[in-house]
Structure 1
C-alpha cells in the first residue's frame, strides 16, 4: 500500500524509474484476510458467504493459478459491470478492497476502540466492490474505520460508541472527527456544512478542566476526483502520485469559499483523502494508493498549533511499512543475448509500427470491448527465443513501449525499420521490447 501527503506542483517530466517499488505478494494479502476473518469470527461476526469470503476465494485461486486464470464470475456472480473485463481489472479492484481492510485491521491490532463491533458488522455487507456500491452505508462505515485506524496506529484512545463518527484522544487533547464520503463535487458544500453542524452540536459545552476539544472533518473525495470510482494510471510512481495529488489540490481549491471551519469550538482541519488502485507503466506494477491533503483553519492555526502537530503525527509520524514487503529490484538497462539466441520480427513491422505509434490508436485501446482488445493482444509483432524459452511480443506490448518514447525517437525508428537491410535496428527493437516487458529479467532463470 502507498500512502502519501501533499506534494509539490505537478511536473511536466519525471525521472525514469531505476528500481521497482517494494510490495506485498498475493499470498501476503490472502494472509491478511485470514487474520481479519479470525478477528471478526472471534468477535462473533460471521464472514462465510460475505464479500470477505469471496475476496479470499479469489486470492487463493489467483495465487495458485495466476490472475488471468481466475473464473471471476463464478466467485463474484452479481458483477456485470463493463469495467470488469480483464484479469488485471479484477485484480486491481480486489486489491483496493483488501488493502483497505488490511489497513483497518492493522489499527485494530494496536487498539480496539469501544463500539467497534457494530461498525464491523456493517462492513462485511455491501457490494463486493466500492465502484458498484449503490447502498453506501457499508462503505461509509468502512471509511470511518479507515480514518479511525490511523489514530489507533498513532497511539490514540479511540471511541466509536457515541453519536460522533470518531472521538480520538491523546492525553488531554480530544478530537471529534466527522467522516463524509462524497459522490460528486455538487455534494461538497452540503456535506462539509453538515459535518460542521454535527461537530458544533457534539463537542461538549461543559469542558473538563485542562482538557481541550477540537473538530476535524475527514472527507473521502475519491468519486469527486474520479467519477468512475475505478482505476488510475501513471508512467512512473512519481507521476502516479502527482496525478492523484493534483486532483486533491483541485478539490481543495473548490472548497476554499465554503465556510466549514469554526473558531469556537475550533474546527481546525479538513482531511481530504483519495483511495484508489492503479497501474504504473514503468516498471509495470499494481498499487493501491491512499493519498491525503490537509486543509488547515488559518484562524486557529497559531492557537491550536500543538493540536495540529498531533494530527500531523497521526499521518506523517506513523510507520506504514510492512516487513513482508519484497525488496525493490533494479531495472535492467541492457540485455546480453547468449549464443544460439533466435529472433523474429513480423514482415509487416513497418505498418504495425505506424499504427502502434499513433496516439489516437493508443487512446482507442482503452475504449475497445474485451473481444477487440483480445484480438489486438493476440497480434504478435515479434519474439526472442533464449536457451529454448520463447518470449513473444504482442501489439499491446509495442503500443505500451512506443507510448513511453518521444515522437522523434518513434519517427526515427520507423524510418530505420523501413530499410529492409537494417538488421541492427530490428535487433535493437526486439531487445528494447524485451526490456520493456521484462524489466527484471534474470538470465539465470533460463539455465
Structure 2
C-alpha cells in the first residue's frame, strides 16, 4: 500500500459530502413521491433505511445495534457500525439518484418498476432474487437520461427508450453476476436490440442501440466494499477493475452496424473508504466501449449519450464544504499524555510490513482484538482521546518504510520527545479535522 501511496499527492482537504440528515430527508421525499403514486412504503426497506439513519444521526454509528432494524441480516460482512453504514449508504445513494431523475421527468411505465424495487431485499450484497435489483439498475440508467432532458419510455419490450429530438436510443440493461456470465449477457443484449430496434431508415429519426452493464460483482466478487488511500487512488482502483473487465470482453462480438449498436456502458456502483483523510463514499464509476465501426458516423449520438451520463455528477448544493486537514497540533497547558511502557516492542510488532496487508483479510474477531488493546492516549482540556493497537497498525501502514525505521530507532532509545511525537502524529491521523488547538499548516 505504501508503494501505491507514493503515486498520489497527500490531500489537503476533505471531500464535499452530504450529511446523514440530508439522506434521511431525501428518503422522506422519495417515500412521499411513491405514496403519492399509490405505492406503499411502510414496513419496506425504505422504512428501515430511514429508521437506521435516524438512529445513526441521533446516537452515532457505534451506539446502537442495526440488527434491531434489519432483523434478517446475519452475514459476516455486517459486523461493525461502519460496515452497516456503508452498505446502507450504497442502497440509499442509488435510490437518491433515481429520485433526482424522476423529479425532472416521470417516464411512462415507471410505477410497476418502482413497486418492484420497494419490495426488494434490504441489501444488494445479500440479494438472492435479483429481479428487484435488476429493475433498480434499469431505473438508475433511466434516471441519467431523465436528468439530461430526454423523453424516456419504459412501456416497451426494450428496457429503456430514451429520445431527444431526432435521436432515439434503445437501451438494454444487464446486471452481471460473475465474469463467466459476461459473454452470455452481452450477446443476449445484442440479440434483444437487433430484434427490437427499427431496421428501416427514416428520413428524420435516427435509431441507436446501447448496452448498459452493471459489472459491480465482476469487479468485486463479494459485492462488498472497496478502499483507497486517497480519493484519486479509490477512483483508480475502480477504473482499473473496469479496464480489466473491458479487456476480457474485447473479443466478444456484441456490436453491430445495422441497426447500429454504438456503445457498451460498463458501470460499477460500490461503497468504500478513503484512508486519507478517513471518509466514506459511494462511487458510481463508468467506462465506455465504443463500436469502432460506427464511431465516425454516430459521433453526434455518442456525444448525447455521454452528456447524459454526466448529468448526475453535478454538485449537490447541500454538500458540506471541504474541511482543511490539520497538519500541526498545539498542546495546551495541562495536556496529559501516556504511552504503553513497552512501546518499543509494541511498535515493532505493529510495524510488521505484512500486518497491514493481512488486516484487510482478517476476520472480525482478529480486528476486534487489535481494537481492544489500548496503547496510549491524550487528554486535552478534560477530553480523552485513546489509541488502540489497530490505530497504530493503520497509522504505520501508510508511513514510508524509511520513516518507520527512523522513528523506531528513536523509540528504542527511550527518547521522550519521540514518544510525544508518535502520540501527536497518531492523533492527527485519527482526528484529521481537529480544530480546537491547531495551527494552520
Range of TM-score over shorter length: over 0.9
Residue number among 293, 296, 303 corresponding to 1:302 in the alignment = 296
2:266 to 265, 272, 290: 272
1:44 equivalent in structure 2: 38
The match for 2:429 among 427, 436, 439 is 436
1:334 aligns with 2:324: no
Cα deviation for residue 407 of structure 1 reads 1.1
Q: Quick check: 1:167 aligned with 2:161?
A: yes
Measured at CA, do residues 272 and 319 of structure 1 come closer, stay the same or move farther in structure 2, by a change above 3 Å?
A: closer
1:177 aligns to 2:152 (yes or no) = no
| 1:316 paired to 2:310 | yes
Alpha-carbon offset, residue 363 of structure 1: 3.2
The alpha carbon displacement at 1:209 in A equals 3.2
| Alignment-derived partner of residue 7 in structure 1 | none
Task: Determine the structure 2 residue equivalent to 1:33.
Answer: 27
Of 359, 374, 379, the residue aligned with 1:380 is 374
* Contact 1:58/1:70 (8 A) holds in 2: no
User: How far did residue 73 of structure 1 move?
Assistant: 1.1
Question: In structure 2, how many angstroms separate the alpha carbons of the residues matched to 1:204 and 1:50?
Answer: 40
2:195: which partner in 1? 201
Query: How far, CA to CA, are the matches of 2:127 and 2:329 in structure 1?
Result: 47
* TM-score of the two chains, using structure 1 as the length reference: 0.95
CA distance in 2, matches of 1:319, 1:193: 30
1:252 aligns with 2:240: no
Distance in 1 (CA, whole Å) between partners of 2:352 and 2:255 is 49
Give the secondary-structure state (helix, strand or coil) at the position aligned to 1:189.
Answer: helix
Asked whether the 8 Å contact 2:144–2:311 carries over to 1, the reply is no
Give 5+ residue unaligned stretches, structure 2. none
Name 2:67's counterpart in structure 1.
73
Stretches of structure 1 lacking an aligned partner (at least 5 in a row): 1-9
Provide TM-score, normalisation by structure 2: 0.96
RMSD: 1.4
> Following superposition, which runs of at least 4 residues in structure 1 exceed 4 angstroms of deviation?
none
- 1:259-313 Cα offsets, whole Å, 9 max, x none, are 0000000000000000000000000000000000000001000001110111111
Residues 12 and 382 (structure 1), Cα distance of their counterparts in 2 relative to 1, 3 Å cut = closer
Instruction: Tell me, yes or no, if the aligned pair for 1:365 and 1:373 is still in contact at 8 Å.
Output: yes
Alpha-carbon deviation of 1:12? 6.3
Q: CA deviation at 1:205?
A: 3.1
- Match for residue 62 of structure 1 among 42, 46, 56: 56
Deviation of the 1:71 alpha carbon:
1.5
Query: Given the alignment, which residue of 192, 208, 214 partners 1:214?
Result: 208
Question: 2:440 aligned with 1:427, yes or no?
Answer: no
Q: Within the alignment, does 1:407 sit opposite 2:401 as a pair?
A: yes
Which residue pairs with 1:155 in the alignment?
149
Give the Å deviation of 1:320. 2.4
> After the TM superposition, which of the residue ranges 102-111 and 337-346 deviates more from structure 2?
337-346
Q: Residue in 2 aligned with 1:139?
A: 133
